[in-house]
């Protein structure tokens, strides 16, 4: 009996130490508040408050960031000012990212598709066709939203859209169990912090995100780290506590709940679609181009040399040159 009590005591102590360590990680990550902004606006959507910024004058343009770990609308920092010279530019943090709410829900592709459609209608305005730039998996969400209502969109620019084979993956039985584990209070929080440590994010920046731009690596690896650990929601903005709300998004993303197949959608889209790719990505960008071209031969492609996942951060001048060329065709 004494051994059982002793073992139980050690287990409780280990759990308490782990919980304390997790809290210290979240507290230290939010200390600098590099991503917290007071200049933007909030769209009070039915599933949470959505942070967005509006700048410039002219025809409306919507910038939608990707779903890579740690990202948010900050990935457009290097190009938004130039685009604002000729457009009214809206850039938002998708629900679960950046300064937007991070509710305890299952995040799905259709949640984001609905958000984008509602945002365009309620914030930008009904009946006003919008030019859009979407990065990563968000390109698929914009394509789906366009398929549902093509009158909302003008030209569509996709930056490093997702591999179509990966987009077609559905959650398996194993994924459902893993999602439950990641969302659990203690073990899940520890797993989340393990996958989103400074070391892991620095590794991602060097291997997948950025080619060789040291300044971008140093500045944005810090901001991406904060993005993953600071959990904003309405309750916290009113004085509540911060926590590990980011793990619910991570669980859904990691376990394929945010995927959506474009196989039957892309051939039916008549809007102009342009794709910009980082030429130095680990996967062959030409294979991705062929995947999309096989479904819609009208899609045009361009590559940015010496850039990976974020050419709009690493090579903004080259990326803007391509964007302007596409917009004025």
CB 26 within 8 A of CB 243: yes
> What is the residue range of 298's domain?
41-327
Within-domain flag for 270: yes
Given this model, what pLDDT does residue 238 score? 43
Within-domain flag for 36: no
Given this model, what pLDDT does residue 231 score? 61
Given this model, what pLDDT does residue 270 score? 92
SS3 label, residue 191? helix
Q: What is the pTM of this model?
A: 0.88
Half-sphere exposure of 166 (CA within 13 A, CB side): 12
Given this model, what pLDDT does residue 30 score? 53
Within-domain flag for 1: no
Within-domain flag for 135: yes
CATH of residue 291's domain is: 3.40.50.1820
Distance CA 157, CA 87 (A): 15
SS3 label, residue 165? helix
Tell me the average confidence (pLDDT) per consecutive run of 10 residues in the chain, 329 residues long.
Answer: 41 42 47 58 94 94 95 95 95 94 94 97 90 96 95 95 93 95 86 85 90 87 84 48 74 96 93 93 83 93 93 95 90
Question: For residue 134, what are the CA distances in angstroms to 38, 155, 199, 200, 276?
Answer: 24, 11, 28, 25, 10
Structural domain count, the chain: 1
Given this model, what pLDDT does residue 322 score? 96
Within-domain flag for 9: no
């Amino acid at each position: 009996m004494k051994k059982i009590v002793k073992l139980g005591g050690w287990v409780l102590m280990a759990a308490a130490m782990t919980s304390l360590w997790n809290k210290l990680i979240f507290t230290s990550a939010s200390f600098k508040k590099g991503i917290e902004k007071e200049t933007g606006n909030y769209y009070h959507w039915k599933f949470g408050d959505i942070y967005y910024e509006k700048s410039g004058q002219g025809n409306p343009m919507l910038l939608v960031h990707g779903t890579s770990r740690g990202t948010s609308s900050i990935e457009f920092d290097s190009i938004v000012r130039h685009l604002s010279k000729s457009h009214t530019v809206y850039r938002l943090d998708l629900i679960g990212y950046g300064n937007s709410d991070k509710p305890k829900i299952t995040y799905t592709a259709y949640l984001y598709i609905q958000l984008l459609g509602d945002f365009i209608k309620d914030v930008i305005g009904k009946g006003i066709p919008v030019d859009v730039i979407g990065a990563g998996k968000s390109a698929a969400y914009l394509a789906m939203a366009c398929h549902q209502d093509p009158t909302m969109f003008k030209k569509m620019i996709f930056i490093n859209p997702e591999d179509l084979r990966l987009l077609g993956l559905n959650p398996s039985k194993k994924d459902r169990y893993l999602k439950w584990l990641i969302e659990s209070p203690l073990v899940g929080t520890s797993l989340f912090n393990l996958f989103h440590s400074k070391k892991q994010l620095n590794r991602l920046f060097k291997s997948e995100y950025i080619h060789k731009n040291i300044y971008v690596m140093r500045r944005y690896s810090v901001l991406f780290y904060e993005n993953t650990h600071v959990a904003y929601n309405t309750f916290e903005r009113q004085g509540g506590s911060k926590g590990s709300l980011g793990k619910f998004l991570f669980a859904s993303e990691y376990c394929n709940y945010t995927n959506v197949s474009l196989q039957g959608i892309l051939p039916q889209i008549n809007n102009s679609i342009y794709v910009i790719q980082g030429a130095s990505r680990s996967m062959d960008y030409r294979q991705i181009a062929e995947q999309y071209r096989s479904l819609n031969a009208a899609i045009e492609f361009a590559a940015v040399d010496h850039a990976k996942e974020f050419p709009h951060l690493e090579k903004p001048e080259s990326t803007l040159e391509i964007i302007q060329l596409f917009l004025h065709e």
